[in-house]
A and B are shown apart, each in its own frame.
Chain A
Amino acid sequence: MKKKFIEVKNLYYSFGGYTVLENISFVIDKGDMIAIIGPNGSGKTTLLKNIIGLYTPQQGKVAIEGQPPKSVRKQIGYVPQKFSFDRDIPITVHEFMGLERCGDDNHSKKNISRALKEVGLKNIKNQQLGQLSGGQFQRMMIARALLHEKQILIFDEPSTGIDIVGEQTIYDLITKINKEKKVTCIIVSHELNIVNKYARKIVCLNKKMICYGPPETAITAKNLQKLYGVGAGLYHSH
């Protein structure tokens, strides 16, 4: 029997009596690339936080290679929707990437430069975080995950506030890492056309799981109607 890499089983989570996730179940294979879609407030970020072990399910379970996420959390890289710190505070890319140790100082410098180069960012290590564009910031976060050879990468709306070119660059990069390094990627996104193009499986979430499967079976007019409550569909250019 094929071993389940990430398993979410009958997950239930609520905040102060308000149900956010109800009976969510799906399995992610190693090296897969999945997208989670759903309207605002549908529990996408809460699901991610359960997967990384920041939240503990009130019912059901999340397991990574059969272990609770907390015990294997060093394998996971997480790029949140937003950071809570003041972005005007002067911290350089090098300092930020070095927050998690990766060898001694000398090794660290070389490794950081190499990881930045890998995501197409050169000569920015002395730049301040606040000076980076949204796209550069996301790529830097990917470089940081590469630096620590994370096996699972989780992105919470990676292209928010980024233009079409930047968005394409980020998703191409995520795809490259997923294919070349066999890193399992989970992406929360609102961009149906993007997830249709890049994700191999899609979780449609609106507190309950509406559907799970490859884009062609998941992104249907019926599912989208159930998900968003309005008619929605993919844009097909002719």
Chain B
Amino acid sequence: MLEFLQYPFMIRALVAGGFISVLLGWLGTFVVTRKMSFIGDGIAHASLAGIALALLFGWATIPTAILWSVFIAGFIYFLEKKAKISSDMAIAIMFTTGMAIGVILLHFYKGYQPELISYLFGNILTINNSDLLSIIIAAIIIIILLFVFYRKLLFTTFDSAGAYLSGLSPWIYDLMLYIITAVTIILSIKLVGIILVSALLVTPSAISKMFANSFKNFSIITIIVSLIIVLSGLIISYYLDLPSGATIILTGTSLFALSYLGKYLFNVCKQY
């Protein structure tokens, strides 16, 4: 029954998936509340330039992509807060610029680059031990940051002016959220890919929003739902021999549809 546990690549994928799903789920609650769902897509797509740079010059891919994405997140923040450009416009500008730079850099790369497809659509076979270690270390640091600054992040998310008037400097927490979201997205790329990663930032929150009655419950349910989506998606992809990233995303969408239907039917039954 649990034969997939015999394979080291599956164990690596499940462990990485577990950590990533907790991070994406938790961060998703902030991102969705701030109406910034598009940021996941923006940073993931813009990271293509970082990946292309690493491939072209033979640098370590994930660290290069992380540095690039932190730069992108900082630039989006700058455009939004300092240049007074709306969030969706700032993200769209960086999204397309990053992709364009990536495509041009890859144009100079000689020969076939099979790894590129893995970054675009995710491939759990490419998660090696050093990737797993990077994911675990980064995830632990981010989880500690989220615990330590949780209340401040929450305050600036819901009431930036109120947070400022209480003595906080909201820009610090806004920027922190952008950067840790960017790092988390890059960590998730090998699991689900550039094209699909943003769904994991949004779908668990969209599901849990239907059932939660407080923000605390919302956060807990979102993390649990995120874990269920990623782990069950990985296992389903193993048994059905399907691409892992796409299967994870479709598992999330199916759960969303089932939850919506379930809630609708429950409400209908309650009326009678």
Contacts and interface: CB of A to CB of B under 8 A. Distances in A.
Interface stretch (A28-36, A77-85, A200-208): A77-85
A54 B161 contact: yes
B33 A78 contact: no
B160 A84 contact: yes
B151 interface: yes
A89 interface: yes
A90 interface: yes
B32 A89 contact: yes
Given A89-B218, A90-B215, A99-B159, A73 B165 contact: yes
A92 B214 contact: yes
A86 B160 CA distance: 14
A92 B159 contact: no
Interface in B214-238: 214-218
Contacts of A73: 164-165, 167
Interface string B15-41: 000000000000000001111000000
Nearest to A156: B161
A78 B162 contact: yes
B155 interface: yes
Most chain B CB atoms below 10 A, which of A52, A78, A100: A100
Contact of A54 (B158, B164, B215, B218): B164
B259 interface: no
A202 to B, nearest CB: 24
A69 B177 CA distance: 27
A46 to B, nearest CB: 13
Contact of B217 (A53, A90, A100): A90
Contacts of B157: 85
Interface residues of A, number: 29
Contacts of A54: 161, 164
Interface string A55-90: 000000000000000000110111010011110111
B32 A99 contact: no
Given A74-B165, A86-B32, A96 B213 contact: no
Contact of B215 (A74, A76, A95): A95
Contact of A80 (B155, B161, B213, B216): B161
Most chain B CB atoms below 10 A, which of A77, A99, A100, A148: A99
A153 to B, nearest CB: 11
Interface string A145-160: 0001000000000000
A73 B161 CA distance: 10
A100 B166 contact: yes
Contact of A52 (B35, B161, B212, B213): B161
The 6 A-B pairs at the shortest CB distance, nearest first, are namely A91-B215, A99-B155, A90-B212, A100-B166, A92-B214, A89-B33
11 contacts: A53-B164, A54-B164, A85-B159, A86-B32, A88-B209, A89-B215, A90-B213, A99-B158, A99-B163, A100-B155, A148-B166
